[in-house]
Amino acid sequence: MYDRAMGEAVGIDPLHEIQPERIAEIRERLLAWYQAGHRDLPWRHTRDPYRVLVSEVMLQQTQAERVIPKYREFLSRFPTIQSLAAAPTAEVIRAWSGLGYNRRAVHLQRAAQAVVERHGGQMPRDRAALERLPGIGRYTAGAVLCFAFGEDIGFWDTNIARVLHRVFVGPELPARRLSARQLDALAERLVPPGQGYEWNQALIELGAVQCTARRPACLTCPLQTCCRSFPEIQALLSALPRGTRLKRESPFAGSIRYYRGRLIEYLRQAPDGTGLDLLALGHRLRPDFSPEHLPWLRQLVAGLARDGLVLAEERAEYDATDPRRLRVRLP
C-alpha cells in the first residue's frame, strides 16, 4: 500500500511523488493480469504496420466488438497499403459502412497514399514522420511504433489517460488534473524496458474491460490496492445525476454528425457514380424537409465536400436556382 496523501499539497506536481517501487509493483500486477487472460483480438496477431494502422484508425471512438468484422472485411478488400492507396475513394467509403466517423476512411486512404508516394510503400519508423501522415496523431503514431515495430514507447488516448489518471493521481472527476504534457511524460516513464508491447496492450485492456468510464469493476481490479482512486471513484460516479454526460460525450441523434452519417449512408446506397440531388437528399434526411432547410443542407454538403467525403456537381440542364441542379455523390 502507499500513502494516499502524497502529492496533495498545493503546488506539488503529483507525478514527482511517484516512487520507483510503486511503479515496479503496478507493472508487475498489470502485466501478470494481462498475461493470465485477455481478449483475443485479430490485430493482436499481427505486427504488419499497415494492419496495425487500419485497426488503430478503426478503433478510434468505436468499440472493438464492432470493429472486428469490419477489420477483417476491409483487409480482404484492401489487403495491402498499395491496394488501399490505389482504390477509388468511393469504394473505401463504402467499405467503411457501419463504423461511423466516415472522415477516418478518407484520412486512412490519404495516409496510405502518402506512405506510397513519400516512403516507397514502407511505413516510416520515425514518430515525427508518422505524425505528418494525414489523420495520424501522437497516439496512433505511438501505437504503430509499439505494436508493429516493437518500440518501448508511451502513448495515450482517452481510455489510457483515464487509467493512468485514476491509478497514479486520483479520480478524473469533476475534471482531469493532468495536462497533456504530463500524461505524455507519465506514459513514457511507465513503459517497462523490453515489454512495451505487452504493457500498452495491458493498459488498453484494463481501460476497456475493467477501468471503464462509468462502471469500473474496482473489486476485481488487479490494481485496486495500488490505485489512488479506490474507493472514491465509485462514490463519485454514483453521485452523478441520472443522465449526466461525462466529458467528451455529446448528443448524437439530430446532431450535425448524425445527419452527416445519414447522408453518406444514402450515397452509399446510390448506384456507382450517380448520387442524389439536393431535394432527394433533403427528403431522405428528414421528413419535415422544406425549402427553408436548403441553406442548412447546402452547408452540410459543403462540410462533407471539404472533408473529401462527397463531390457536389452542378448540372447545366437545370435552372441555377433549382436545388435539383446540385447533385451529390461519393468521390
Catalytic positions, written as ranges? 56
Cα(300)–Cα(248) distance, integer angstroms? 22
- C-beta neighbour count of 285 within 10 angstroms: 19
CB 204 within 8 A of CB 160: yes
Read off the C-alpha cell for 217: 469493476
Determine the Cα–Cα distance for residues 54 and 103; give it in Å rounded to an integer: 14
**Interstrand relation of 276-277 and 326-329 (parallel, antiparallel or unpaired):** antiparallel
CB-neighbour burial class of residue 163 (10 A; exposed 0-12, middle 13-18, buried 19+): buried
Dist. CA 200–CA 160, nearest whole Å: 9
CA–CA distances in Å: residue 142 to residues 57, 109, 317: 13, 19, 52
Cell numbers describing residue 310: 462527397
CA distance 281 to 262: 10
- Maximal CA-CA distance, the chain: 77
Find out whether 101 and 62 touch, Cβ atoms under 8 Å. Answer: yes
Q: Which amino acid is at 113?
A: Q
Residue length, the chain?
331
Strand, helix or coil for residue 329? strand
Contact 166, 211 (CB under 8 A): yes
Report how far residue 331's alpha carbon sits from residue 329's, in angstroms, rounded to the nearest whole number: 6
Residues linked to residue 329 through DSSP beta bridges, in sequence order: 311
User: Rounded CA gap, 24 and 298, in Å?
Assistant: 57
